Amino acid sequence: MSTREKMNPTLTPLADKTETANDRTRKFNFWRYFWLTFLVVSLAYAWYCFYVPTNNIAWADNYASAQKQAAASGKPIILYFTGTWCVPCRVMKRQVWADEEVKTLVNAQFIPLEIDLDNPNDAALIARYKVGGTPVTIITDSHGNTLRWRAGGLGKSEFIELLSEPSPSDGNDKS
């Protein structure tokens, strides 16, 4: 070791400086790939959360037309309270409403109506059923009387179970 290196211990041989530069390059490349991967995964997840496939549910246009259809057909109404910003609603639309079995069951036995919480035209309906969050699924008769309801996101099996539950009036009819 030279006298100069003894006086200033921070001096290192040239080989050590080259390794340090290589380490810096490796670290830089690692973080570059890490953040690039993070960005791609985040964008894919965001797309997945907001992607909603089309469904073939015969949605009623508004509450008045749903009531008329229900009265004419004798079918109950499904009120599905949702919002464009609601991620659990989008997941439910993707996993439940887009399912063929659900589509067949709903179109055959119910009059479905989708209600957006942000739509000012639906404010009276939201207040009537005291809906404060989304998603909420309410099954009513043609007069608007609640037969059964569930708050929160539902899976396909839970949703089909909700649809197949007997209504309170069915139990009263049996004497």
Asked whether residue 6 carries a pLDDT value surpassing 70, the answer given is no
HSE at residue 10, side-chain half, CA atoms within 13 A, is: 0
Q: What is the pLDDT of residues 65-112, one digit of tens each?
A: 999 999 999 999 999 999 988 889 988 998 999 999 999 999 999 999
The pTM of this model reads: 0.69
Cα–Cα distance, 65 to 50 (Å, whole number): 29
- Give the model's pLDDT for residue 174: 38
- Give the model's pLDDT for residue 22: 75
Kind plus residue range of the DSSP H or E element containing 114: strand 111-116
Q: What is the pLDDT of residues 103-153, one digit of tens each?
A: 999 999 999 999 999 999 999 999 999 998 899 999 999 899 999 999 999
- Give the model's pLDDT for residue 24: 76
The alpha carbons of the chain give a radius of gyration, in whole angstroms, of 30
The CA distances from residue 128 to 58, 71, 132, in Å, are 24, 20, 11
pLDDT band, residue 158 (cuts 50/70/90) = very high
